[in-house]
Structure 1
């Protein structure tokens, strides 16, 4: 319970400030400017996943199983890789967002750059070691302060661009603070004495994690760009609905985070039971979540949009369904399949779901605006979850067979002697 409370504090704080900043941006620079900031943030979200390079998916389980020296080495390797990646990726997402932003190009570009720096996060380290309060101090507090300062300036006459810049400052501060705490640079002699792999080998070892997370991010981030380009009239409605859905998932992060640490730590004979327990809990929680969202969404969306954005009831239903399915998929991929060492299933399912879903988003946006785009997202996400569940079923069967073989070995040895 103490661990759950610790993670919940972080996630609630991040969700609250992330939602609270939206009306401040709308009031500061208008709904159109905020819509392009949101589009830039979605593009930057893909960049953040590339910068994170799969550590968010594979990191918690590997850190939980490693000793102190291996953990230190793993984080040092991740920092080196991320610092090499952040510059070209930052320039790329800024340029793409600038092209999409049109009259608000600078808003979109800085929004993309700010979000890309989220990939520098060290939260996977704290999650793997089950250290929620250190996560709160070193990761959450700097980000919340940065966003809070931005809100202060926007409510006192500054543009929304200032708010985005302060979010960027908060994220960079969190990365620096976490790195100083983990690596303890005053003990560099110890770090230098530890063996480290070549950068190419490190990047190669993360290929499955980064592939699946990049594809997943593309699937969640590309639709708003599609809507912005081919159905601009529906963009403000889609942007606020998508933002609410994302922030609810962020706010429920402790649920997934606890399972990420709890499932992989099971003994071999208990792993399948924990995987099934996690899946059942995810389904029950997702159903309750979808119902709750549908009840509170109308007022929440009206507040976030400053009374200027009014989605239909069908749009709100689709938002609730997508949120529920997203939660189940996150548990299946990050906790269950990661613990079963089947990230290849996650990668394949994500690729197929993306290839099917994105064309559906484009067709739906042209035909029915925001509602059609959301229908396309739901279709691709549901297909992805179905494929992952099928892969998890096969992985469980294989794991059970392997466990049976292991338990049979001593008996065969005794009878042979």
Structure 2
């Protein structure tokens, strides 16, 4: 009886601890998502549909730049930080800061040129949107996830970013030029990056942190960034392709794209919980936890699909400020994309990263791109917004199936090894 009571007490404390972390990270993501969504109607009212479309294209291209700046720490960082002591964690963080500062200038410049070329009607708006999105690659969220410090992240990074975005909303509502909106987002991210580095590194500034050469760091992170770039390109390329081949549907597609991105980002804490739950030193325990996470995740994503389908039309009416309204068929397909995309994140970032199989994630992303992107173009030309989104979903399904095969193979391999060891004993 006493042992049972102790176990129940331990379970209760574990649930409360995980619940508190989920709430902390969820609060950050909720604040960031709400602030970002508030900016959309302010931009549309201030600059019109064309200006909004140019900023949205720039942000999409900047999202790829952000992945290049981030350079895989979102995939590899949380598990790595969770496994090392604080001194080694600070060294990893310092290497990340050093590397990403070096990457930011050339990546931001190159992405800005592409954005200006893709959106020639409002090139400076596209560049501002691009830089505001690229700078997100300087985030330190991966470190705070690995350290399980959601409230430190809330204070030092989330609040400055939210303040910058809300400042943009306020300034646009009182008549500031539309370019001020994305520039305020950029300023908030810059303040957040400086604050995070100060909080992590300055308290131990006397501690010697021997840092590896940048070339070696880049090689170490190559699989993480390869899968990240592939994901970002697959998420970004459809809006660019739609802008080129079917510009008439671009504002509507951009609104749907923005909403699904914000919803996916808002669910980041759930993915972060899986990233911390699955990896263990015992491979058999890791496989068991991966199976539990994927089965529970499937139920969660089915509920998510229904939820997005219900609230999506209302959100889109508000975000479009009465000027942009997607058809309900597009909302159905977008809801499916959000749900499948979250489950694929469980698969790739929670399970395959724990299996050290990020190369499989990169290949899966390539498969999804090869299948999906041509279908986006064909769908946009034949069936408009619904067709373009349908092609995107088909590519995502192809990617998920490919990655699922690797998960199944790895689990079978681990179980086979355990069985042979048991027979030898």
TM-score range, shorter chain: over 0.9
* Mapped contact 2:317–2:325 kept (Cα < 8 A): yes
- The 3-state SS of whatever aligns with 1:307 is coil
Give the Cα separation in 1 of the matches to 2:380 and 2:110: 26
Tell me which of 98, 117, 133 is aligned to 1:80. 98
Tell me which of 176, 188, 206 is aligned to 1:189. 206
Paired position in structure 1 for 2:156 = 138
- The 3-state SS of whatever aligns with 2:206 is helix
Tell me which of 333, 348, 366 is aligned to 1:333. 348
1:297 correspondence with 2:312: yes
Unaligned runs of 5+ in 1: 412-417
CA positional deviation for 1:281 = 1.6
1:105 correspondence with 2:120: no
C-alpha distance 303-295 of structure 1, shift in aligned 2 (>3 A): same
Paired position in structure 2 for 1:312 = 327
Paired position in structure 2 for 1:124 = 142
Give the Cα separation in 2 of the matches to 1:402 and 1:56: 30
* Mapped contact 1:101–1:109 kept (Cα < 8 A): no
Paired position in structure 1 for 2:239 = 224
RMSD: 1.3
Q: So what's the TM-score if we normalise by structure 2?
A: 0.93
Give the Cα separation in 1 of the matches to 2:118 and 2:129: 12
Deviations 1:113-166 (A, max 9, x none): 110000011100000111111111111111100001110100000122101100
Deviations 1:77-134 (A, max 9, x none): 1111101111000001111111111221111111001100000111000001111111
CA positional deviation for 1:254 = 1.3
Give the Cα separation in 1 of the matches to 2:161 and 2:205: 27
Unaligned runs of 5+ in 2: 1-18
Give the Cα separation in 1 of the matches to 2:249 and 2:205: 53
* Mapped contact 1:266–1:274 kept (Cα < 8 A): no
- The 3-state SS of whatever aligns with 1:103 is coil
Deviations 1:356-415 (A, max 9, x none): 211111111122221111011011100000001111000111222334455667x3xxxx
**What does 1:152-301 correspond to in 2, within 5 Å?**
152-184=170-202, 187-190=204-207, 193-265=208-280, 267-301=282-316
Paired position in structure 1 for 2:13 = none
* Mapped contact 1:47–1:90 kept (Cα < 8 A): yes
Give the Cα separation in 1 of the matches to 2:419 and 2:189: 47
Deviations 1:204-236 (A, max 9, x none): 011110001001100001111111111010001
Give the Cα separation in 1 of the matches to 2:333 and 2:279: 33
- The 3-state SS of whatever aligns with 1:340 is coil
Tell me which of 19, 28, 38 is aligned to 2:46. 28
* Mapped contact 1:23–1:304 kept (Cα < 8 A): yes
* Mapped contact 1:126–1:135 kept (Cα < 8 A): yes
Give the Cα separation in 2 of the matches to 1:102 and 1:196: 42
Paired position in structure 2 for 1:324 = 339
CA positional deviation for 1:286 = 0.8
Give the Cα separation in 1 of the matches to 2:277 and 2:178: 40
**What does 1:58-97 correspond to in 2, within 5 Å?**
58-97=76-115
**What does 1:34-45 correspond to in 2, within 5 Å?**
34-45=52-63
Q: How many residues align?
A: 407
- The 3-state SS of whatever aligns with 1:102 is coil
Deviations 1:9-45 (A, max 9, x none): 1111111111111001111111110111011000000
- The 3-state SS of whatever aligns with 2:210 is coil
Paired position in structure 1 for 2:31 = 13
Give the Cα separation in 2 of the matches to 1:68 and 1:24: 43
- The 3-state SS of whatever aligns with 2:295 is helix
Give the Cα separation in 1 of the matches to 2:281 and 2:298: 21
